Amino acid sequence: MICEVHVTEPSVDQVRIGVMGGTFDPIHNGHLLAAEEARCNFNLREVIFVPSGHPPHKDVRRISSPEDRFRMVSLAVGGNRFFRVSRIEMDSPGPHHTVDTIGNLIKQYGPRVSFYFITGIDSVLQIMSWKSPLRLAEVCRLVAVSRPGYNLDRIRDLPEEVRASVRVLEIPLMAISSTDIRNRVREGRSVRYLVPDPVHRYLLERGLYRC
């Protein structure tokens, strides 16, 4: 039996705000393009970047300090008046789950705001392993942006209750990942133009990812 789920779009007088969560180790141009495309396509008033405090799925000993990651995100978003950065996860004890972070933002911003959680298709396809995926799909829209190597059609594999919340967004594909940037720096290769210039300068000055 096909179960129809009706999701009401936010009314016109509701403010839409994007949230881009990530480890951002480091933030790169793929993140920024995804956020900007989502902002324009979904008429978002702003996009809040939320560097993770303690991501439950990553080995915390192997990632750069929250302060370094926060600084790099701040430098990266500085040139866009619609972009903000939040310490909401960094300043509270972890582990942090997206559903709780969005819940806290809802408390902070009030009921007139609809949140759009912007995430790569790779992450959306993992969503059933996150905390309370059905609840997350209820409290915000999930914007699944295209990423090289992932087929957007795989959204069909998600349960209907989650799928109903997903808005697929095709963006110009950028084959960039933070892992690749860290590897390049370690190998002494250039990462210029893969990350914004101020981030490039910062990671070189701080000697990040050298070993």
Which position among 23, 41, 104, 132 is part of the footprint of ligand ATP (CB under 6 A)? 23
Token pair listed for 74: 């701040």
**Which residues inside 74-113 make contact with ligand ATP, applying CB under 6 A?**
none
List the x/- string, 108-147, binding to ligand ATP by CB under 6 A: -----------xx-xx---------------------x-x
Is residue 36 near ligand ATP by the rule CB under 6 A? no
Q: Which of 88, 178, 195, 196 binds ligand ATP (CB under 6 A)?
A: 178
* Residue pair 165/124 in contact by the 8 Å Cβ criterion: no
Selection from 96, 80, 62 nearest residue 196 by Cα:
80
H helix count then E strand count, the chain: 8, 6
DSSP β-ladder status, 113-120 and 83-85: unpaired
How many angstroms separate the CA atoms of 99 and 134, rounded?
A: 9
- Residue closer to ligand ATP by CB (options 114, 125) is 125
- 84 forms beta bridges with 48
Nearer to ligand ATP, 6 or 62 (CB): 62
Where along the sequence are the contacts to ligand ATP (CB under 6 A)? 22-25, 30-31, 34, 119-120, 122-123, 145, 147, 174, 176-179
